[in-house]
Structure 1
């Protein structure tokens, strides 16, 4: 991300950055249709050349809370990555609260915390993985 001055008004310019050689990057996004309480999720996996290796999309049931929707979607996508057997992964997610919960160390006994624990375990199951928050 870099600061660009266009027409006298600075703005942030975001650009996708290739992962290191031999590493796959998974960009994750979620949409919540609040009126219907439906959640859609999707991911694109690219290699170090930026070529699409795989993509997936799906629905994650009926959830009203945006953070829980993001978290359940992340768990579904991490399960997909595990089933595919990919080991060297970078994950990019735009849900800051979920990112902080999953990458943090606090223990939470709520339902949210249980799903956070599932996501943490799935990340460990991918032998070499990292996660970044992106806008």
Structure 2
């Protein structure tokens, strides 16, 4: 009996670490609550409802092959796997077995970075929403649509968040820059599309895009700003005190100079899949000429993403 108690205590301690790490994710509260419900096996899957005698069949309503457990619904169903196959390679390569969903989460929480875990949380919720839309509204979303229905995380109250990205046209030696600035309620304060001739070096292009985002925030008088982009190298360079005299390094110096005029600022790296609005703006910028800034407005290309 003593051995049983020790085993239970160890298991509880392990789960306690899982819960703490899960609740510390940089994701919307609703998404973390969804993940907690999934880990507690409390989602209304067909199997759970069948056990409560609320439905006639436990089979998955999507594939109709096996009972729909929580793990099956948001991880191992063929429809779910179609979505996970579009995630980052580190997520795809993890060998996760079927079982209670908390057992699926543990290796993910132990092996993935913070922004990869945010991607997992948001994607899992998007898959569940896709399943519900299919079941209750007969509305079908392709895997590509699902991975783009991802949630933007609002900044704290009184802060503004600027997301930036770049698109590169190597054939024409052009880059397109996309920037969007939103407040803590998600309202768009400004957006920008900028196209220019530039050596098609992706890192240099990302640095130029970050400079455009910083300058836009400074020019419209924002004094508490969070910047987000999907170039880890640029984010780390801006955070570093080291200086580099390469073309990219000189742009980084300009970014730091512009940000020094802003009272409170921070810069963060996020997954491209969480930066989709800025990415679409950057692609759209390649079809434009020059630079276009929209105050409290945005181009039609991102209307369905906001």
TM-score by length of 1: 0.88
Structure 1 CA distance for aligned equivalents of residues 209 and 179 of structure 2: 10
SS at match of 1:125: coil
User: Which has the higher relative contact order, 1 or 2, with Cα contacts under 8 A spaced 6 or more apart?
Assistant: 1
5+ residue gaps in structure 2? 1-26, 39-70, 88-119, 124-149, 272-306
Measure, in 2, the Cα distance between the counterparts of 1:99 and 1:65: 16
- 1:118 maps to what in 2? 254
| 1:84 matched residue in structure 2 | 220
1:103 Cα deviation after fit: 1.1
Equivalence map 1:1-135=2 (5 Å): 1=27, 6-8=74-76, 12=120, 13=123, 15-135=151-271
TM-score, length-scaled by structure 2: 0.41
Shift of 1:111: 2.5
Cα deviation for residue 58 of structure 1 reads 0.7
Displacement over 4 Å in runs of 4+: 1-5
Q: 2:172 is paired with a residue of what secondary structure?
A: coil
Q: Higher strand fraction: Structure 1 or Structure 2?
A: 1
Greater helix proportion: 2
Give the Cα separation in 1 of the matches to 2:157 and 2:171. Answer: 43
Q: Tell me how far apart the structure 2 counterparts of residues 72 and 16 of structure 1 sit (CA, whole Å).
A: 23
- Superposition deviation, residue 20 in structure 1: 0.8
- How many residue pairs were aligned? 135
The structure with the larger Rg is: 2
Q: Structure 1: where are the runs of 5+ without partners?
A: none
CA RMSD of aligned residues (A): 2.1
